[in-house]
Chains A and B, each alone.
Chain A
Amino acid sequence: SQTIHQWPATLVQPVGSPLSLECTVEGTSNPNLYWYRQAAGRGLQLLFYSVGIGQISSEVPQNLSASRPQDRQFILSSKKLLLSDSGFYLCAWSVEKRSNYGYTFGSGTRLTVV
């Protein structure tokens, strides 16, 4: 069966420090991968998605970047965190080109920038 792992679960980082959040999927190949953010009291904001290794699409300009170095690995990064980067970050995967499967989400990372 397919599983998605996301870590760490919680993270407290000072302003200006770097960030690296990792997401891996098991039990499937060539998944579509997504990074979402939920700011306090707000809905889901799609940050990045990827349809293959090295292929990253950015939905909104921001202080973050994403990379997909392997088929089932998706990394969210920042060189210098801002206070506004605080939020709940969710990774998700879906079956390539199959829109009827929906998404499967990871358990999320709570990032607090202080």
Chain B
Amino acid sequence: AQSVTQLDSQVPVFEEAPVELRCNYSSSVSVYLFWYVQYPNQGLQLLLKYLSGSTLVKGINGFEAEFNKSQTSFHLRKPSVHISDTAEYFCAVSAIIKAAGNKLTFGGGTRVLVKP
């Protein structure tokens, strides 16, 4: 079984400042890693995912994340945030197995509030 911990439930940040959202996971097998964003009253959208290869993954809207296997982390960063980045962000993992019902395990989410 897998588990995901997002260490910060809320992150206030000023516009044009950098932001980092922390995600740690636990798994007995290798995993794929995902970050999703949820804007108010909307569904979740995929920001980026790590499958293999380079540990630095670039996603949409200027976000990037770095996979660190030794620390079992997948932190999300953006060098300069905009007001429009105000949203909730979810980290998720999926076991690398071909099985029916390949469920994602989600973290508890981090609310980012960008202040002018």
Q: Which residue of A lies closest to B109 (CB)?
A: A43
Query: In the assembled complex, which residues on chain A have CB atoms less than 8 Å from the CB atom of B34?
Result: 102
The range of chain B's interface size is 20 to 34
Q: Which of A11-19, A75-83, A90-98 lines the interface with chain B?
A: A90-98
Greatest chain B CB density within 10 A among A6, A51, A92, A102 is at A102
Q: Which A-chain residue is minimally distant from B107 (CB atoms)?
A: A43
Q: Is A44 an interface residue (CB 8 A)?
A: yes
Whether B90 sits at the interface, judged by CB under 8 Å, is yes
Give the nearest-CB partner of A46 in chain B. B103
Contact B103 A102 (CB under 8 A): no
For the complex, what is the distance from the CA of A27 to the CA of B43, rounded to whole Å? 19
Q: Tell me the complex Cα distance, A43–B109, Å.
A: 6
- The size of the chain A interface, using a CB distance under 8 A, is 26
Please classify the interface of chain A as helix (H, G, I), strand (E, B), loop, or mixed, using the class held by over half of its residues.
Answer: strand
**Residues of the B chain whose Cβ atoms lie less than 8 Å from the Cβ of A110:** 41
| Residue B100, interface by CB 8 Å | yes
Taking a contact as CB atoms closer than 8 A, the residue among B44, B51, B101 that contacts A100 in the complex is B51
Residues 51 to 99 of chain A near chain B (Cβ within 8 Å)? 51, 57, 88, 90, 92, 94, 96-99
Query: Could you say which of B42, B45, B96 contacts A99, with CB atoms under 8 Å apart?
Result: B96
- Contact (Cβ within 8 A) A57 B101: yes
Q: Is B41 touching A44 in the complex (CB atoms < 8 A)?
A: no
The interface residues of chain A lying within 8 Å CB-to-CB of B102 are 32, 94, 97-99
Task: Provide a sorted-by-A list of 21 A–B residue pairs whose CB atoms are within 8 angstroms.
Answer: A6-B43, A32-B101, A34-B103, A43-B108, A51-B100, A90-B43, A94-B102, A98-B102, A99-B95, A99-B97, A100-B32, A100-B94, A100-B96, A102-B32, A102-B36, A102-B46, A105-B36, A106-B43, A107-B42, A108-B42, A110-B41
Residues of B bordering A, CB below 8 Å? 32, 34, 36, 41-46, 49, 51, 90, 92, 94-104, 106-109
